Chains A and B, each alone.
Chain A
Amino acid sequence: MKIHIQQGRLINPATQIDEVTDVFIDNQLIIATGDKPDGYIADKVIDASNQLVLPGLIDIQCRVREPGFTNKASIASETRAAALNGITSLCIPPDSKPITDNSAIVEQIHHSNQKAGNRCHIYTIGAITKKLNGEHLSNMGTLKRAGCVALSNALKPFTNNLVQRRAMEYAAGQNILVVIQPFDHALYANGCAHEGALATRLGLPTIPEAAETAALAKDIELVAQTGATTHFGQLSCARSVDMIRQAKKDGLPVTADVSMHQLFLIDRDIDYFDSNKLTIPPLRSEQDKTALRQGLSDGTIDCICSDHQPHDADAKLKPFPSAEPGISALDTLLPLLFKLVDEGIFDLSQAVNKLTHNPASIFALPSGQIAPGELADIIIVDNQGHYQCDSKNFLSAGKNTAFQGWDFSARVTSTMVAGNIIE
Chain B
Amino acid sequence: MTSNNLQLTKDGKLKHFLSIEGLNKAILTDILDTAESFTSVTDRSIKKVPILRGKTVANLFFEASTRTRATFELAAQRLSADILSLDIKTSSAVKGESLLDTLHNLEAMQIDMFVIRHQDSGSAHFFAQHVKPGVSVLNAGDGQHSHPTQAMLDMFTIRRHKQTFENLSVAIVGDIKHSRVARSQIHALNVLNTGQVRVIAPRTLLPEYTETLGVQVYHDLDEGLKDVDVVIMLRLQKERMTGALLPSEQEYFRQFGLTPDRVKLAKPDAIIMHPGPANRGIEIESSVMDGNQSVILQQVTYGIAVRMAVMSMIASQPESR
Contacts and interface: CB of A to CB of B under 8 A. Distances in A.
Interface of A: 195-197, 199-206, 208, 271-274, 314, 317-322
Contact of B122 (A195, A208, A321): A321
A321 B98 contact: no
B207 interface: yes
Nearest to A200: B207
B11 interface: no
Interface stretch (B143-151, B162-170, B275-283): B143-151
B121 A204 contact: yes
Nearest to A201: B213
Contacts of A274: 3
B123 interface: yes
Contacts of B208: 195-197, 199-200, 206, 208
Contacts of A196: 208-209
Interface string B47-64: 000000000000000000
Given A320-B120, A322-B120, A201 B21 contact: yes
B100 A200 contact: no
A197 B145 contact: no
B246 interface: no
Contacts of A273: 121-122, 125-126
Contacts of A319: 99, 118, 120-123, 125-126, 142-143
Contacts of B120: 318-322
B50 to A, nearest CB: 35
Contact of A205 (B99, B144, B213): B144
11 contacts: A197-B209, A199-B208, A201-B183, A201-B213, A202-B122, A314-B98, A319-B99, A319-B142, A321-B120, A321-B143, A322-B99
Nearest to B178: A203
Interface in B126-180: 126, 130, 142-146, 180
A177 to B, nearest CB: 36
Contacts of B66: none
Nearest to A194: B208
Given A271-B1, A273-B125, A319-B123, A197 B212 contact: yes
Interface of B: 1, 3-4, 6, 21, 98-100, 118, 120-123, 125-126, 130, 142-146, 180, 183, 207-210, 212-213
A318 B3 contact: no
B279 to A, nearest CB: 22
B212 A200 contact: yes
Given A272-B4, A273-B122, A273-B126, A204 B209 contact: no
Contacts of A201: 21, 183, 212-213
Nearest to B3: A272
A202 B99 contact: no
B125 A272 contact: yes
A321 B121 contact: yes
Nearest to B145: A203
A205 B210 CA distance: 14
Nearest to A274: B3
Contact of B144 (A195, A203, A314, A322): A203
Given A202-B122, A204-B143, A206-B207, 15 more contacts: A196-B208, A197-B208, A200-B212, A201-B21, A203-B144, A204-B144, A272-B1, A272-B3, A272-B4, A317-B130, A318-B100, A318-B126, A319-B121, A319-B122, A321-B121
A208 B207 CA distance: 11
Nearest to A321: B120
A201 B1 CA distance: 13
A185 to B, nearest CB: 15
A271 B126 CA distance: 13
Closest 3 CB pairs of A and B: A203-B144, A273-B122, A203-B145
A204 B145 contact: yes
Contacts of A314: 98
Contacts of A205: 121, 144
B209 A200 contact: yes
Of A208, A273, A319, A321, most B-chain CB atoms within 10 Å: A319
A320 B122 contact: yes
A195 B210 CA distance: 11
A256 B120 CA distance: 34
B1 A318 contact: no
Contacts of B207: 199-200, 206
Contacts of B21: 201
A273 B6 CA distance: 13
Contact of B121 (A202, A208, A318): A202
Given A202-B121, A203-B143, A271 B98 contact: no
A203 B98 contact: no
Contacts of A203: 121, 142-146, 180, 183
Nearest to A271: B3
A319 to B, nearest CB: 4
A208 B204 CA distance: 13
A279 to B, nearest CB: 16
A320 B119 CA distance: 11
Nearest to B209: A197
B242 to A, nearest CB: 13
Contacts of B99: 318-319, 322
B209 A317 contact: no
A322 B142 CA distance: 12
B152 to A, nearest CB: 17
Contacts of B183: 201, 203
Nearest to A314: B98
A195 B122 CA distance: 17
Contacts of A202: 121-122, 145
Contacts of B122: 202, 204, 272-273, 319-321
A196 B130 CA distance: 28
Nearest to B130: A317
Contacts of A206: 207-208
Contacts of B209: 196-197, 200
A287 to B, nearest CB: 13
A322 B3 CA distance: 20
Contacts of B125: 272-273, 319
